[in-house]
Structure formats: C-alpha cells, structure tokens
Amino acid sequence: MDRLFLLKNNLTEITGNRFIIDMMYATPDNIVMHPVYWEVGFGDRAFIHVDAAVRLQELSGELAKLNLKLRIRDAYRPPVAHQRILQLINVDGLFASRPENSLHCYGTALDCCLTDEKGRNLKFPTEVDGYEKKYAKQIAKGDTEAFYKHLEKARQDFWDTRYAEEINNRELLKKIMTSVGFETISSEWWHFQLPGGKEDYPMIEWK
C-alpha cells in the first residue's frame, strides 16, 4: 500500500502480536466464494482509520491479560472491492447496497472474533459473516431461505440455552470492544465501528 495514500486518508496497518490478520475476502472461503481482495489487486493486509487503530492498540494489554487474541476478518474495504462483491452476490440485505453505505469503505469498521493464544477461534453463535460453505453454495444457486434463518443467530440479541458458551463469548467480545469506544450493530455480533460514521469520516477511494 502506498505510504502517501495511507497518510492522505488517515489509514494505518493493523499490527501487533495480539492481532491475527486473516482477511476473509482475500480468500475464497467467504460467502461469495471468491478472493475478491486479490481480484481487485488489494491483497490480504488489514488497514483501518487511525482513530480506530488507537482504540485497537488500547486493547492489547487487556487481551494479553485474558490470554486472548483478536482475529481481524475484515477492516478497510476498497469501494471497488465492495462493488465486486455486489456483482458476485445479488442478494438483498447481505451487503450494503452501495459502497457509500458500508462503513468498511470509510475505514471505520472491522469484523473480528476472539481466539486463544494459539490462534484457535473461540466458539460463537455463527462464523464471522455467517459463512459456511454449504450456505455459500446454496446462495450461489439462488436459495437463501436457510441462510437467512441461520443469520438469526448472528444477532446481538440472539439467546438460546443450547448456545450458552457461544453467547458468553459473544458478550465477552462486545465488552472488550465497547470498552475502548467501538459501537456494535444489532444484526452482526462480529461487526464493530467508530462512533460518528459517515457524518465524521469520508469514504476512502482506493482506485
């Protein structure tokens, strides 16, 4: 990534031994089944607005104390990559209908989960983005009913005693992230964003 581009747009790379960079849209193991970030030339590095990076670094000590790490599955998403995703998956409601509506394209949102010291994901009600290969294949065929039902478990208010461990981990992640000022959204346990959003930050065009 060009250093001048990063400086101009107040972006910085997410680094540190408490963060595992594992950008899901740089691989084919995602709901659209394409390595979108490589297809558009972006690669697999994680960048975030400096205001968010400061908050992430504040977490390092707490994560170390808990013997946990944070797996970063998505962060800044170039608008061209978002457009490519929309071309690949024409399903209402799975992604923001335009790059302008996704805070990932502003560098102010990230998708993440907790892992243990060895990088093994803790259990959560769903995978990040609700991804499972079987659902991706169904969606590619135009069958979305089962996936939408599955996504009910992604909600912050999902509760089922059969998922006690998963919900406890969801609540722990939320507690950790909101302790440094990130906000949640009701429909995705994995998504965290800076307060203010589009009102305080411009969308960042990459190409």
Q: Is 29 a member of any domain?
A: yes
Domain that holds residue 38: 3-199
* 26 lies in some domain: yes
Q: Tell me if 92 is assigned to some domain.
A: yes
Q: Residue 91: is its pLDDT beyond 90?
A: no
Measured CA to CA, the distance from residue 11 to residue 107 in angstroms comes to: 7
Tens of pLDDT, residues 25-80: 999 999 999 999 999 999 999 999 999 999 999 999 999 999 999 999 999 999 99
Per-residue confidence (pLDDT) for residue 207, from 0 to 100: 73
Residue 2 confidence (pLDDT):
85
Q: How far from chain centre, in Å, is Cα 69?
A: 15
The answer to whether residue 48 is domain-embedded is yes
> What are 95-150's pLDDT values in tens digits?
899 999 999 999 999 999 999 999 999 999 999 999 999 999 999 888 999 999 99
Is residue 184 in a domain?
Answer: yes
CATH of the domain at 19: 3.30.1380.10
Q: How many domains does the chain have?
A: 1
**pTM over cut 0.85:** yes
